């Protein structure tokens, strides 16, 4: 392994309920994410991806197994992007985008200008003074992405952050998001049910089965065309081959119980 591991998951399991009324959500999940690397996790809806992510982020306790996060990276900053934007309704778009950084200390003029620049880059210019109730779901989710990245996290956990965004905008955001995670050397775990998104973003792609969720395959995408562009990468023959393989993994996996 080239990089020191930031995340080590060993034999993770999660069971909900007690006695005869139990649901086994995750079973025997193990993986390692090296520093600065991007792990995409793809799987069918309802298989336990969000449960896994919440355990990794410390928002839920596992039933079995362990999660080890590099302490110095945790201390330096952790961010979580949920499926819903979770914006504060009394704060403007710009104020919500700045919240993560604001929690770390007073906002200088330079910091506000930097966040304003990112708001523009994510197609939100002109809405800086708008309240969340005045934004579409996709716009609100973009604010959540800016808020997380501008807090300068060292560990980032993402739960389908682009699912509410239209396809064309999503491709553009995928490109921008991958670039930002790379230049900031963020160790990222990104959950999605979109195979194309998983392939483009991930240094490694983990494929999960239906419940109880297990990792049934892992891949390291090596795209010969457009590896830094979410549209151009689709011209790579490796992209199509890997898409078909992951689709088969998902299609042939255990059905949801």
Q: What secondary structure, in 3-state letters, does the chain show?
A: CCCCEEEEEEEEEEEEEECCEEEEEEEEEEEEEECCCEEEEECCCCCCHHHHHHHHCCCCCCCEEEEEECHHHHHHCEEEECCCCCCCCCCCHHHHHCHHHHCCCCCCHHHHHHHHHHHHHCCCCCCCCCCHHHCCHHHHHHHHHHHHHHCCCCEEEEECCCCCCCHHHHHHHHHHHHHHHHHCCCEEEEEECCHHHHHHHCCEEEEECCCCECEEEEECCCCCCCCCCCCHHHHCHHHHHHHHHHHHHHHHCCCCC
* 144-169 confidence digits (pLDDT tens): 999 999 999 999 999 999 988 889 99
Class of domain 1-77+155-168+183-257: alpha beta
**% of the chain at pLDDT higher than 70:** 97
Q: What is the mean pLDDT of the chain?
A: 91
The pTM of the whole model exceeds 0.75: yes
* 48-57 confidence digits (pLDDT tens): 899 999 999 9
* 68-125 confidence digits (pLDDT tens): 999 999 998 999 999 889 999 999 999 999 998 888 877 888 888 999 999 999 999 9
Domain boundaries, the chain: 1-77+155-168+183-257, 87-152
Banded model confidence at residue 17, pLDDT cuts 50, 70, 90: confident
């Amino acid at each position: 392994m080239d990089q020191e591991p930031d995340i080590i998951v060993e034999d993770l399991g999660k069971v909900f309920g007690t006695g005869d009324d139990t649901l086994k959500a995750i079973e025997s999940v193990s993986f390692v994410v090296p520093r600065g690397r991007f792990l995409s996790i793809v799987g069918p809806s309802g298989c336990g991806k969000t449960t896994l992510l919440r355990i990794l982020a410390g928002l839920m306790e596992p039933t079995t197994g362990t999660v080890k996060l590099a302490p110095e990276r945790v201390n330096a900053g952790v961010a979580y992007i949920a499926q819903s934007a979770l914006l504060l309704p009394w704060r403007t778009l710009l104020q919500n985008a700045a919240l993560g950084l604001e929690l770390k200390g007073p906002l200088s003029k330079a910091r506000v200008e930097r966040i304003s620049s990112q708001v523009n880059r994510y197609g939100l210019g002109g809405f800086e003074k708008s309240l969340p109730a005045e934004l579409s779901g996709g716009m609100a989710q973009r604010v959540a992405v800016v808020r997380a990245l501008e807090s300068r996290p060292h560990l980032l956990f993402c739960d389908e952050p682009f699912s509410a965004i239209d396809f064309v905008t999503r491709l553009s955001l995928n490109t921008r998001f991958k670039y930002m995670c790379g230049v900031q050397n963020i160790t990222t775990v990104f959950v999605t049910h979109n195979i194309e998104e998983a392939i483009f973003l991930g240094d490694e792609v983990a494929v999960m089965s239906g419940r109880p969720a297990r990792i049934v395959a892992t891949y390291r995408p090596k795209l010969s065309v457009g590896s830094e562009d979410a549209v151009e990468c689709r011209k790579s023959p490796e992209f199509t081959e890997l898409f078909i393989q992951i689709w088969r993994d998902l299609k042939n996996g255990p059905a949801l119980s």
